[in-house]
Structure 1
Amino acid sequence: MWTRSLLKNNAKEALRGRYWRSFLLCLLLSFLGIGDVSTNIVVQIRENIDSLDRAINGEVWQGNVTAQDVLSELPTYLSPMILNLVGIAVVVGIIVGLCWNAFLINPLTIGRNRYFMESRQSPAPMGTITTVFGPGYLNLVKVQLLTDLKILLGYFLIIPGIYWTYCYAMVPYLLAENPYLTTRRAMELSKQMMDGEKWNTFVLQLSFFGWAILCVLTFGIGYLFLEPYIQATFSELYAALRAKALAACMSDERELGGFVRH
């Protein structure tokens, strides 16, 4: 049975002598938009959909001015053409954003999880995060994308989205350990591991709120220093749930073979 204090103490121990390496890794990833565990592709997709909805309704968020107000001042024959161009640009932007997340952000997030899991045992090279681009890359892209899409669909009904977010929270860690898991198996195993752990996981996330307030006082710079601690703590959570899964025969060492020792 894990406790928040136990996970955090283990995280601090795992970061001992490796903190600045982990800090640099998180700093580099932050330039790509990869950060706190509370941010994920689901939020970004929903923002893209909201943008498309606003474009369809002709809204431009500049005060109370709308696209119709602007276009009414242009020659009539230009309005349909401009609207078509705006629509095409929005659709292209959404497609590019989805591809960016699916083929780069998600794999690098999984690679980051692998790095922190391996760092629990011994200092892992920063290049660990790029090992996801080897064998199994397309499978983990597919599995994570389908998982995110299911969660996204759940958010249209609100409650299922929140529920599935926690059910499938371990999918990126499972893929970090075994990139060949099928979508169905990754979701199933994550759901089993999170059974009875959803509320505790939420409270674990909430326990960083005080630190987050302090980070706000530093104009957000403090988040960069907090990020390694957060990632190391949630790696400890996965390690605890993984041990539970093996003990309860939800999986075995053929499926979850462990992480590399350096």
Structure 2
Amino acid sequence: MWFRKDLKKDARAMLKHNYWRMVALCLLVALFAGEANQMLSLVRAYVGARPEIEAEQEAGTGLHQKTNSEVVVDILKQLGYEEYQSAGVSATQGVLAGIVNGIGQAGSFLFGILNVINQFLFHDSVAAIFIILLGLLIRFIYWCFVGNVLVVGKNRFFMETVTYEHAPVPRMLFIYRVNRAFKVAAAMFMRGFFLLLWMLTIVGGPIKYYTYYMIPYIVAENPDIDWKSAMALSKRMTSGHKWRMFLLDLSFIGWDILNAFTFGLLDLFYIVPYKNSVRAQLYQRQREQVIREKCPCWEMLDDRYLFEEPAVIPEEIPSEKIDPELRMLEYPVQLFKIPEEKRREWMEAHYDRPYSLRSIILLFFTFSIVGWLWEVGLHMVQAGEFVNRGTMFGPWLPIYGSGGCLVILLLRRYAKHPLVTFGLTVLLCGVVEYGTGWYLEVTKGVKWWDYTGYFLNLHGRICAEGLLVFGIGGCAAIYVIGPALDEKFKKIPKKVQTALCVILIALFCSDIVYSHFHPNTGNGITQPAAEKEMQSAAAGATIAGSAGGGLMIPGVRVDFGEVSGPEKTELQVWG
């Protein structure tokens, strides 16, 4: 018999030993798994207000080619799911938020990519529907083999922390490392499938939710178990406990209410790790009861070292994983019945290496070109058009190259301390981005980017989520990308490297000179600072000025309507 008070007490003890690891893991699973357990999210689509479409429809022109998201909504409305018209609207601005929304649901990011394909290759509604179905298929595959598998890996992490003081964040990839992704995906799919069917009965849905509650934990312990046995075990483990499990979930309602006043921060930094710790404790209690009573299929719960430390520490266990009291600090993966696959050698590349001048130059242009491709590709997904981003005319954004090279040259000496490296990377990239933005505004009187309205922004030149992305990218450059590219560059003959560096530098310098006198500006690229201040204006607001043209800013489109007075015009803003 278990009690809520005991579960929560033990869960809080777990948090003390692995707090930051738990927070990091929950954040990663939220980013990449999204609403992985909600099968109905497959049919959600993002649609914003589109006044120009409404005008065409009212005029009866019939010339507007519907986007994939709009066709999805039309289909759903015909089926009676009108509420999905407003599903998926982002709560925050920014690239990171867009990616998260796109992963968490069949939304703007995925359908934006498919819209680009549709605009270039197809022109009829039948082809558009085909693209939509392709998008749903991609989303379904992602849900099965990434989202669900990562959720099981997360459960494995929390289950190990019940007994062991430490658990590495890469444990979320446990299922992939033992090469059991297909088996786990099959079990999780059948769980979702039966839950969906029971949801149609209304009453049976909540009951079966708790009946199948333990399946993600059972397959995390034994990835070889078949889905029928996992369901039978879960049914036995929850028999007679469903109401108490419901009350356990309900007991977190106070935390959920408090979370509303913290804009979701409490959820990230405490509630989600806390809930997962409590559920891992619950699984341990129910598992012990099933084994003690020798219920059907109990012998499949065969990971004896998951909740029980080895009596004798094997010689192959590294000494850093053993404390002075001869206790295991981490789960002994060497003793698991399924051997883990060896890690790829490129993941073990030596990051504290000397870089030649030729390699640094090539790294600079590689990062600059990749940054340009990222910016251009992102704009194509969001706006459906090609725009040459940046201050220059060549296919490069030097701010990415400068940031990447500075991070590698200045911070690789701190690479033995990942958290310090991440913090310094965020700081360095923030200084580079803020300084570049300030310089361009002062010298050119134009903004090439503006984070006004983003969470924790500074003068619109930098923002928290942008720095988070740069921090992750900078660490990737230090630990993986830089060493891997350096190894590739070393295979190129030195004469060829030198010639390539000279050509690139010559083209780059020519672009610098030309762009100094004729900077790359235009619709979707830049905006005068005075106009940028109007970004926060509400729809229908009036401003002084003259009519004409349109204005593009990240995530917002602004059109100037007809002149309504001698010195006034109407400004319309929509997402």
Give me the TM-score of the superposition, normalised by structure 1. Answer: 0.84
The equivalent of 1:127 in structure 2 is 170
The equivalent of 2:135 in structure 1 is 93
For 1:156 and 1:224, the matched residues in 2 are separated by 32
Q: Report the AA paired with residue 127 of structure 2.
A: L
Cα deviations by residue, 1:172-206 (Å, 9 ceiling, x for unpaired): 00000000111110001100111011111111111
- On the 8 A contact 2:25/2:172 being kept in 1, the answer is no
Residue correspondence of structure 1 range 60-139 to structure 2 within 5 A: 62=49, 69=57, 72-75=60-63, 82-122=124-164, 123-133=166-176, 134-139=178-183
For 1:246 and 1:167, the matched residues in 2 are separated by 18
For 1:12 and 1:233, the matched residues in 2 are separated by 8
Pair 85,245 (structure 1): closer, same or farther in 2 beyond 3 Å: same
The equivalent of 2:20 in structure 1 is 20
Structure having the larger proportion of residues in helix: 1
User: What displacement does 1:70 show?
Assistant: 7.6
Pair 82,203 (structure 1): closer, same or farther in 2 beyond 3 Å: farther
For 2:6 and 2:21, the matched residues in 1 are separated by 23
Cα deviations by residue, 1:100-131 (Å, 9 ceiling, x for unpaired): 11000111110110101111111111121111
The equivalent of 2:186 in structure 1 is 142
For 2:247 and 2:196, the matched residues in 1 are separated by 22
Q: Report the AA paired with residue 301 of structure 2.
A: E
Most deviating of 88-97 and 186-195: 88-97
User: What displacement does 1:93 show?
Assistant: 2.0
Pair 97,70 (structure 1): closer, same or farther in 2 beyond 3 Å: farther
Pair 69,176 (structure 1): closer, same or farther in 2 beyond 3 Å: same
Identity, % of aligned positions: 28
For 2:172 and 2:41, the matched residues in 1 are separated by 27
The equivalent of 2:42 in structure 1 is 48
2:278 counterpart of 1:233 = yes
User: What displacement does 1:155 show?
Assistant: 1.3
Pair 50,159 (structure 1): closer, same or farther in 2 beyond 3 Å: farther
- 2:224 alignment partner, one of 163, 167, 180: 180
Pair 254,105 (structure 1): closer, same or farther in 2 beyond 3 Å: closer
Structure 2 residue runs of 5 or longer lacking an equivalent are 72-122, 307-329, 333-575
The equivalent of 1:30 in structure 2 is 30
2:195 counterpart of 1:151 = yes
For 2:233 and 2:31, the matched residues in 1 are separated by 32
User: What displacement does 1:228 show?
Assistant: 0.9
The equivalent of 2:239 in structure 1 is 195
For 2:59 and 2:225, the matched residues in 1 are separated by 51
The equivalent of 1:57 in structure 2 is none
Higher relative contact order (CA 8 A, sep 6+): 1
- 2:249 alignment partner, one of 205, 223, 244: 205
The equivalent of 1:55 in structure 2 is none
User: What displacement does 1:9 show?
Assistant: 0.4
For 1:242 and 1:204, the matched residues in 2 are separated by 17
Pair 69,33 (structure 1): closer, same or farther in 2 beyond 3 Å: farther
Q: Secondary structure at the match of 1:24?
A: helix
For 2:268 and 2:59, the matched residues in 1 are separated by 43
Give me the TM-score of the superposition, normalised by structure 2. Answer: 0.40
- On the 8 A contact 2:26/2:273 being kept in 1, the answer is yes
User: What displacement does 1:50 show?
Assistant: 6.1
User: What displacement does 1:87 show?
Assistant: 1.9
Moved over 6 A (4+): 63-66
Pair 240,72 (structure 1): closer, same or farther in 2 beyond 3 Å: farther
Cα deviations by residue, 1:125-175 (Å, 9 ceiling, x for unpaired): 112111110232211111111111111122122222222211111000000
The equivalent of 1:243 in structure 2 is 288
User: What displacement does 1:75 show?
Assistant: 4.7
For 1:116 and 1:145, the matched residues in 2 are separated by 22
Pair 63,75 (structure 1): closer, same or farther in 2 beyond 3 Å: closer
For 1:61 and 1:154, the matched residues in 2 are separated by 33
2:5 counterpart of 1:5 = yes
Q: Report the AA paired with residue 261 of structure 1.
A: Y
Q: Secondary structure at the match of 1:257?
A: coil
- On the 8 A contact 2:10/2:281 being kept in 1, the answer is yes
Structure 1 residue runs of 5 or longer lacking an equivalent are 52-59
Count of residues paired in the alignment: 247
The equivalent of 1:56 in structure 2 is none
